[in-house]
Amino acid sequence: MEAKILGIFEKVDFPQFNIKNVKAKIDTGAFTGALHCSKVTKEDTPDGPIIHFYPFDYPHLKITAKDFYLSTVKSSNGKREVRYFIKTTITVQGETYKILLSLADRSKMKWPVIIGRRFLSRHNFLLDVNKSYSKSLVKLGKDKI
Chain mean pLDDT for the chain: 87
pLDDT of residue 143: 40
CA distance 138 to 130: 9
Residues of the chain with pLDDT under 50: 136-145
The predicted structure's pLDDT at residue 108:
84
pLDDT attached to residue 134: 54
Look up residue 67 and give its DSSP letter.
S
pLDDT at 145: 31
Domain 4-123: give its CATH code: 2.40.70.10
In Å, how far from its chain's centre is CA 28? 13
- Domain limits of the chain? 4-123
pLDDT, residue 5, reads: 94
End-to-end CA distance of the chain: 34
CA distances 58 to 16, 18, 25, 39, Å, are 15, 12, 20, 11
- Residue 65 burial (CB count, 10 A): 18
